[in-house]
A and B are shown apart, each in its own frame.
Chain A
Amino acid sequence: MGRALAVIIWILTLGSVSLFFIKKWWFPTAISEHAAALDQQFLLTIIVVGISFIAAQVGLGYMVWKYRDRGQTERALYSHGSNRLEVVWTIVTAVIFIGLAVMGQSVWASLHFNKAPAGSFPIEVVAQQFQWNFHYTGRDGVFGRTDPGLIDDSALNFIGLDETDPNAKDDAVHSVIAVPSGRPVELILRSKDVIHNFWVPQLRFKQDLVPGMAIRVHFTANKPGKYELACAELCGQLHFKMRSFMLVLPEDEHQALMGLPQDQFQTRMTELLAKYPLPANN
């Protein structure tokens, strides 16, 4: 029984580890500047995790195999432990674990401890149940005034844009987010109703959109293409369908798009969505 259990534990360990090792299912190729460091940190962590996992399971299997009751007359080892060992493994694990935690802060700090760099491209994101609205400044670089009192979904004014505000004249609102490649983007995240979450797997980035708050985050995407955007915080009935796209466009293409008046903006966006295919599945 002991040997069977040891073998099963080892087989399960091998199976679990190989699922990660074959990399058939892995992160999608990253498209953001912070992703490289993040993937690096993940790799380091998963190696530490993997080694600890293998060591613990192989050790467990070994104990189970070796120290099974074979009907021998001698008793088990009479030992109550070892203070030295306790101290050693407490210190070793503390150093490794806390070390990982500290190292894991660097990407976080670069994204969250600094304001968006000057010259970032601003986009206001207004989420609502099962739909994304992205508010672009247009040519003037200034957002038009919005007011919840002006929101009227039936009139397609999803974000409550004040049409009388001169700054709003060239603003565009679209369900797809188009960001420039290689230039920092600042998102101002809002929600009209419940909590949503902005989640593009390739971006390695996620942030809640909390009603009543305007959360500012920034990142830099650097691989042109079309990517799927999902909501990753339970927001109600059709949460699973709250899908849109993120277009990462070469700077000039993006700039041209943002210079267009509203009606042409919409058509151009449709063209661009058709132009860029989704990344091939791995």
Chain B
Amino acid sequence: MSVETHGAVHRHEPPTGFIRKYIFSLDHKVIGIQYIILALVAVLVGMTMSVLMRMNLSWPGTNWPILGTLFPGGAPDGMMTPEFYLSLVTMHGTIMVFFVLTTAPQGGFGNYFLPIQIGAEDMAFPVLNMLSFWVTLVGFIVILAAIFFSGAESTVGPIGGWTAYAPLSALPNSGPGQGMGMNLWIISIAIFCIGSLLGALNFITTLLNMRTRGMSLMRMPLTCWAWFTTAVLALLSFPVLLGGGILLLLDRVAGTSFFIPGGLYVSGVLAGTSPNFPPHTGGSPILWQHLFWFFGHPEVYIAILPGMGATSHILSTFARKPIFGYRAMVFAIFAIGLLGFFVWGHHMFISGMSPYSAMTFSILTLSIGVPSAVKTFNWLGTLWGAKIRFHTPMLFAIGFVSLFVAGGITGLVLGQTSLDLPMHDTYFVTAHFHLVMGVASIFGMFAATYFWFPKMFGRFMHEGLGKLHFWVTFVGVYCIFVPMHTMGMVGMPRRFAQFTEYEFLASLHPLVMFVSIAAILTVLVQILFYFNLVWSIFKGKKAGDNPWEATTLEWVTSSPPPHDNFAGVLPTVYRGPYEFAVPGATHDYVMQTEPEPGEQPAGVSGNGHNGHKH
């Protein structure tokens, strides 16, 4: 890295070789795009799996010749086996949570835009940044290997859901799906943890250390607050999963008994009476759940916080209005992040954990609804009195708010100890978390994609296709996930390969069909999005440096930004991030870099952000 001297413009030239420029690049923008591509591939895999699952649930026992050809082990003669279905459940969850919802929002968009939005030339540790992507990619390759290398078993991969509850996951002899595939699953997650930790380290350091002149904390865009909080959550939660994963792996391969109690009788064999089944004693299955959910609950906020940040950013921009309650938004993000560490027990009310701690967890859990509600109110407040421009990113941002409310609010039901008794592990839960952490997060990412695409590639995405994509997806996800709530109320359990065995589920068949058809249509429409992405890179309408008339630093530089982001001249920041509709200003937006007329940068006075004067 070179030395900057006063007055001189100092440029960092990009590397010229193809490999250094696009493959093993140190440029946070290239790494961000690499992460996004990884997520786009992973989400395709995960979505395909969900379609296969819906096919099996709606038309159980049907022969799908194509499946038989693709997965001779999992679907002999084209008929899906229950273990194939369950491994799809596991893989769908794992790939979506880890390789989509954790990579795209944070590793992808965060990597690309955090340094630019704070006026830095790059991340603090570019080499670590590159490593974090490549480590994550290795994790993805290992998880794909887990699908295909499950040994002689007739499954396509591990069976355990994304939570891999011990001792099912800790006992290699507890049935199909617990062999080599499960080892690879654990290894993949461990690798993923390391990649995420490297990323989190970089995000935190960059944000603390590399903000440009005038970019005080309270002048940062809300996206930066979200990425920062997300990085802190990742930093503190992934090590716990890593530790738990090591213990689980040792239980599986080294004969230890961290999670495996004594006296088990599995698949016709008593522990200790066979060389394949060591004499475990005294382990605690619930310990795994504690370790997992201590990570697992912050993880859901890792998935959604960046979406919240992007939504705030985009809502304000297209509402042409300052964000409502900037400071409250920052506190809400923080409160969610902090409380997120103290609510993990709500996943375990009926696990055999102490009923008294369940009560505490329940109250803390419903408290976390408060900052979430505050965010919703502030989003509505931002729209109040606005002058809304309905471009595709704005549609998705509004969709995010709608879905976040729809999905989040049922947390009030699930967070109560008593109501968890009928609801736990039913489709009500599936509906809740898919809407809020799955679909809402993805809507945040769609909004971010349509919003920042012009900056990343210098061209707009096709607006008509984008809108069509929005309408169908928005209606589609409601049709998929709202009926799942009622399925859960009737009592339909999760992770059932078929619903044919129970009479009390028979009445739900029309709903199951409806959901499947909605899901398949919604997934098909995503092809439009992929097409739009690729097409627009080459053929999209050209965009200027600031096509949306936005205010933050990414719109100061060219589209796409040069290798060193600001062509060697780092911007100075004079005001808060969302100065729209300022009375008396020339335009209806005032960039962060725009000084007050006639004012010198050193003479800028004020309290650091211009907000909170009503």
Contacts and interface: CB of A to CB of B under 8 A. Distances in A.
A93 interface: yes
A26 B352 contact: no
Given A49-B409, A234-B160, A75 B175 contact: no
Interface string A11-49: 010011001100001111000000001100110011011
Contact of B611 (A19, A80, A111, A112): A80
B324 A79 contact: yes
Given A90-B374, A193-B174, A211 B264 contact: yes
B425 A197 contact: yes
A167 B492 CA distance: 39
Contacts of B413: 42, 45-46, 49
Contacts of B383: 60, 63-64, 67
B424 interface: yes
A75 B387 contact: yes
Contacts of B493: 199, 230-232
Interface stretch (B298-306, B497-505, B528-536): B497-505
B126 interface: no
A20 B168 contact: no
B270 A79 contact: no
A259 interface: no
B483 A197 contact: no
A20 B482 CA distance: 10
Nearest to A151: B265
A197 B474 CA distance: 35
B507 A148 contact: no
Nearest to A75: B581
Contact of A151 (B86, B270, B376, B580): B270
B583 interface: yes
A193 B418 contact: no
Given A52-B409, A128-B265, A232 B503 contact: no
A72 B420 CA distance: 51
A101 B370 contact: no
Contacts of B70: none
Given A12-B478, A77-B581, A97-B367, A241 B421 contact: no
A101 B362 contact: yes
B291 to A, nearest CB: 15
A48 B412 CA distance: 9
A64 B388 contact: yes
Contacts of B501: 240-241, 243
Contacts, number: 381
Interface string B277-290: 00000111110000
A232 B387 CA distance: 50
Contact of A106 (B270, B418, B482, B580): B418
A25 B402 CA distance: 24
B489 A26 contact: yes
Given A38-B418, A193-B171, A234-B86, A240 B490 contact: no
Given A64-B398, A234-B165, A93 B412 contact: no
A28 B326 CA distance: 46
B387 A67 contact: yes
A234 B265 contact: no
B248 to A, nearest CB: 14
Interface string B595-610: 0000000000000001
A236 B418 contact: no
Interface stretch (B40-48, B228-236, B314-322, B449-457): B314-322
Contacts of B373: 89, 93, 97
A48 B398 CA distance: 23
Contacts of A164: none
Contacts of A68: 387-388, 390
Contacts of B471: 8
B290 to A, nearest CB: 13
A163 interface: no
Contact of A69 (B175, B387, B405, B416): B387
A8 B403 CA distance: 13
Interface residues of A, number: 107
Given A83-B612, A204-B422, A93 B322 contact: no
A233 B292 CA distance: 16
Nearest to B356: A113
B237 interface: no
Contacts of A100: 366, 412, 416
A142 interface: no
A90 B82 contact: no
Given A79-B322, A81-B326, A193-B264, A38 B82 contact: no
A38 B171 CA distance: 37
A210 B263 CA distance: 12
B171 A76 contact: no
A207 interface: yes
A78 B390 contact: no
B336 to A, nearest CB: 13
Contacts of A197: 350, 424-425
A108 interface: yes
A143 B503 CA distance: 33
Kindly name the residue among A60, A83, A232, A240 whose own CB sees the greatest number of chain B CB atoms within 10 A.
Answer: A240
B496 to A, nearest CB: 4
A196 B502 CA distance: 17
A188 interface: no
Contacts of B268: 153-154
Nearest to B280: A212
Contacts of B425: 197, 199, 206, 232-233
Interface in B167-184: 167-168, 171, 174-178
Nearest to A110: B418
Contact of A76 (B270, B362, B581): B581
A252 interface: no
Contact of A2 (B390, B482, B502, B507): B390
Interface string A105-126: 1111101110000000000000
A25 B174 contact: no
A240 B320 CA distance: 52
Given A76-B580, A77-B386, A232-B426, A194 B168 contact: yes
A94 B368 CA distance: 9
Given A2-B388, A236-B175, A201 B490 contact: yes
Given A112-B358, A129-B175, A237-B86, 4 more contacts: A42-B422, A81-B381, A148-B264, A149-B270
Which are the 6 A-B pairs with shortest beta-carbon distances? A212-B261, A104-B416, A77-B385, A201-B491, A81-B325, A112-B355
Interface of A: 1-2, 5, 8-9, 12, 15-16, 19-20, 25-28, 37-38, 41-42, 45-46, 48-49, 52-53, 56-57, 59-60, 63-64, 67-69, 72, 74-83, 85-86, 89-90, 93-94, 97-98, 100-102, 104-109, 111-113, 128-129, 148-149, 151, 153-154, 160, 192-195, 197, 199, 201, 204-208, 210-213, 215, 228, 230-241, 243, 278-279, 281-282
15 contacts: A15-B482, A49-B409, A49-B412, A68-B390, A72-B387, A76-B385, A78-B580, A80-B612, A93-B373, A151-B265, A193-B264, A197-B350, A212-B262, A232-B493, A236-B175
